[in-house]
Amino acid sequence: MLEIATPEAVLFWVLAPLSVVAALGMLLVKKAVHSAILLAWVMVTLAIFYIAQGALFLGIVQIVVYTGAVMMLFLFILMLVGVDASDSLVETIKGLRWIAITAALGFGGLMIALIGRATLGRSYLGLDIANEDGNVEGIAVLLFSNYVFPFEVISALLITAAVGAMVLAHHQRTNHRPTQREQAIARFRTGSLGDAAGLPGPGVYALHNAVDVPALLPDGTPAPTSISATLKARGDVIDSAKFQLDVVDPTIKEEK
Amino acid sequence: MTTAELLGKDPVWLIVVKAVIVFAICVVSTLLAVWTERRVLAKMQLRTGPNRVGPFGLLQSLSDGVKLALKEDIIPAAADKVVFIAAPIIAAAMCFMSFAVIPMTGKVNLFGQETAMQLTDLSVGVLYILAVTSIGVYGVVLAGWSSGSTYPLLGGLRSSAQVVSYEIAMGLSLVAVFIYAGSMSTSEIINSQHDNYWNVLVLFPSFVIYVISMVGETNRAPFDLAEAEGELVGGFHTEYSSLKFALFFLAEYVNIVAVSALAATLFLGGYHAPPGLGFTEAWLGGWFTIVWFFLKVNIFFFIFMWLRATLPRLRYDQFMKFGWKVLIPVSLIWILIVATLRVIQQEGASRTVLAAFAVGLVIIAMAVSSLYERSKKKSEVPLVEGEAPDFPVPSLPGVTSLNVSQQTQTGSKNE
């Protein structure tokens, strides 16, 4: 069996249970976003294990790649499932649960068999031989000599997938989209010049500036365009007249 | 002796001492950075800036920090409590971690031990910084999501998209440095620059791309769309108060110092003195190199402030377009050129071959740009109206689609 140094053993026994708990939690928590966070945690702990085992490059790349990937997953959850989406436990396809359990058991069995075949009855060669010329160089040699073909095939596959997704999501504009400049010109050419500078903001200066109080025009009448149409439709508009000063005191002299 | 071997000899107590020093440097530089930023921005806007607390207002940020810590800590009712508390901790912790691999001095004597002012030297040090900062973004995104409110959510989403896209450009700009230095370790990159020219001269396009993407990566003006006060109130930290907000504040500034330090390390020769001033290292000893290091970091920090005072915030679509359609293709092409040149150099080709290669590149670039200009002119021709189809099709350029909904409506009326 391989010798495990004490700090590494401590690291393993602290992080491994946390990692397993997080992996289980990922399946059991209800909110999809919590699942994504726990997935990120599992990925990070795996990376730490890789680093502890001497595969420094693999560990760091694991973090760089998977944090980005989980971030995308996070975006997808928010965009497609919803901000506060929770799992519904209703079976939509009949017998899905049993199929899933069978597949999971099969996959687990496969993993155990593979790991057992790779480790049991074989002597541990160690990373020292693989890392002889440096960890990064070792990976580079393998990746660009023995495994260059699978590596290229996978990258072609990924690029095809990315391009396919873009084609599916692509939407061609049928009409010209006005630029900011064109919009600005149009504002001055059409309609009244009064609207060209934008709508007035709500609120009565220095007395009440909430969005539900119409601004006052110079003649003292409320400006209806200063209030959002939504608020108006809801009836949430407060009369701005009550924030006006009744009498302007003429005795107050302007400060010089 | 390489830096990795030098640091490998550190006893445990020295590592702890250095960790504390790095932590202190981060916190103190944040306090000074806030003050510097306010003063410099004020100068640029013809104001004075904070000048009341302490000499030149130096203690202003400290007193602001104390005030911030004493404020009421509010957790909104709609917030996801655990994530809400964890988010600022993630953001701040990860910024400090990225400082571990940044070399601040050469060989120095610290409490009687020969060492270097660098916590650890990884063979993939620069990638480690990328990894740690990308975890740090989780803090921002989770803060946005867990606040349970609209503006923070939008800010968090913007930030995640922003960092993912600008990290690609940043990573690509680093590739050229790796190719030239033949290593991914920060100390090796500094040494390779010390032996040759600084990377800012050799790899100028990479330098420009890195500087642009580092502003995008740290959510700073003009790329501060994640917190855009005008549109999103405060973005991801709208709902945060007291110490949790302070942690985000700290994270932002430590992050700025960290990316500036990385820029100095990768492109400006790190802690080494500028060419011609190398005698300062010999005369004043290893500790003096820390002065050069902080001078270089401050150059970048000044660029950050200068940008903030000069440029208005970008519109979100312009910002994304710039990242994906300009920065990434340009850095890909640049890597191609650098890699080819490197191989030609290693094969021992003569200068004529190199010159021919460079001339060829220029000709190709000119041809491509002229072709691009032509295609641009063609596409400006307005779309020709095609014949109206007899059956409903999705609308396409040049084809007037039949309005399906209108037809069915009139059809139902006729019935």
* CB under 8 A, 24+ apart: contacts of A66-71: A66/A40, A67/A40, A67/A43, A67/B131, A67/B134, A67/B135, A67/B137, A67/B138, A68/B134, A68/B164, A68/B167, A70/A36, A70/A39, A70/A40, A70/A43, A71/B134, A71/B137, A71/B138, A71/B141, A71/B160, A71/B163, A71/B164
Q: Name the band, by pLDDT with cuts 50, 70 and 90, for residue B393.
A: low
- ∠ Cα B270 B271 B272 (to 5°): 95
Q: What b/e string do you get for A69-108 counting C-beta neighbours within 10 Å, with b at 16 or more?
A: ebbebbbebbeeeeeeeeeeeeeeeeeeeeeeeeeeeeee
Q: Is B10 among the domain residues?
A: yes
Residues on chain A touching B147 (C-beta within 8 angstroms):
none
Which among A64, A74, A75 has CB closest to B127?
Answer: A64
- For residue B204, being part of any structural domain is answered with yes
Contact B135 A173 (CB under 8 A): no
Give me the mean pLDDT over the B68-87 stretch.
Answer: 87
Number of domains in chain B: 1
**Residue B350, pLDDT above cutoff 90:** no
**Structural tokens at position B330:** 């340009």
Q: 10-49 in A: which are within 8 Å (CB) of B?
A: 31, 33-34, 37, 40, 44, 47
What is the least distance, in Å, from the CA of B37 to any CA of chain A? Answer: 31
Distance from CA of A165 to the nearest CA of B (A): 16
- Give the domain range for residue B192: 3-331
Q: B264-319, pLDDT tens digit by residue?
A: 888 888 788 777 776 777 677 777 788 888 888 999 999 988 988 888 888 888 88
Tell me the residue type at B55: P
Phi first, then psi: give them for residue A55, nearest 5 degrees: -95, 70
Distance in angstroms (rounded) separating the CA atoms of residues B124 and A57: 6
- 74-133 in chain A: CB under 8 A from chain B: 74-75, 78, 83
Cα–Cα distance for residue pair B137/A67, rounded to 1 Å: 9
Q: Which residues of B touch A74 (CB under 8 A)?
A: 141, 145, 160
Which chain B residue has its CA at the smallest distance from A173's CA? Answer: B397
d(CA B118, CA A21): 35
pLDDT in tens, chain A (256 residues): 445 567 788 888 889 999 999 999 988 888 888 888 898 889 889 998 888 877 888 888 888 888 878 888 887 777 777 666 566 667 677 788 889 899 999 999 999 999 888 777 776 666 677 777 777 788 888 888 889 999 899 999 999 998 998 888 877 777 778 888 888 888 888 777 767 777 777 776 666 777 788 887 777 778 888 888 888 888 888 877 777 666 555 565 655 4
In a domain, B398, yes or no: no
* A105: closest CA of chain B, how far (Å): 32
Q: How confident is the model at residue A108, as a pLDDT?
A: 93
Residue B161 and residue A83: Cβ atoms within 8 Å?
no
CB-based contact B7:B115 (threshold 8 Å): yes
Pick from B405, B397, B400, B402: nearest CA to B381: B397
Report d(CA B218, CA B137) in Å as an integer. Answer: 9
pLDDT score at B390: 67
Which residue ranges make up each domain of chain A? 1-85, 199-242
